[in-house]
Amino acid sequence: MKKTRTSWIALIFYCAANVTVTALVFAIIVASGTMIYAVAPSSVAATSDETVPPQTYSGMITDAHCGAKHKLTDRSPAECTRICVTRGSDYILIDGDKVYGLQGDIVKLNRMAGERVTITGSLHGHTIDVASMSDGTS
């Protein structure tokens, strides 16, 4: 039986080749995962940012803290709503059992607080982006 000696240089090249191939495979896996992660949020955003046609909603403008029953009984519903909003509550529109958050011109919302209104706007989730607003008698 004859023993063959492999040189140290061949062993070093063999190990270096294995490390290089392993590093390349790992880099491809990480890059693929990063690309999938980077593309996924933009495709979700594209579906949620689609143009939603404006619709008309009717109801009472109040605040999320009090809702339909105002807690400041010595004040009018409009005053109670404005006070709660200045304390951090959000404007909402209540129509029977339906409740929508309101986003829009704060001056107009303040003016119409506590009143029945008709709102035209786009619904995103449970929030209406108010485009226009008129009192409920029109």
What's the burial of 75, exposed, middle or buried (CB within 10 Å: 0-12/13-18/19+)?
middle
Per-residue pLDDT averaged across 22-29, rounded?
A: 92
Per-domain boundaries in the chain: 1-50, 55-135
pLDDT tens for each residue of 81-128: 888 889 898 999 998 889 999 998 889 998 998 889 999 999 888 899
Beta strands 116-124 and 91-95 are unpaired
Element (H, E) at 131: strand 127-135
Confidence of residue 135 (pLDDT cuts 50, 70, 90): confident
Confidence of residue 138 (pLDDT cuts 50, 70, 90): low
Tell the residue number behind the tokens 């999320």, with chain if given: 64
Residue 85 structure tokens: 């909003």
Q: Answer for the pair 52, 127: CB distance below 8 angstroms, yes or no.
A: no
Question: 28 or 44: which carries more pLDDT confidence?
Answer: 28
Q: What is the pLDDT of residue 35?
A: 74
Q: How far apart are CA 81 and CA 75, in angstroms?
A: 9
pTM over cut 0.85: no
With a cut of 50, say whether residue 43 has pLDDT above it: no
* Per-chain mean pLDDT for the chain: 83
Percent share of the chain, pLDDT over 70: 82
Encoded amino acid at 109, one letter: L
What are the C-alpha distances in Å from 44 to residues 22, 47, 60? Answer: 34, 5, 33
What are the C-alpha distances in Å from 37 to residues 40, 43, 82, 117, 138? Answer: 5, 10, 43, 44, 50
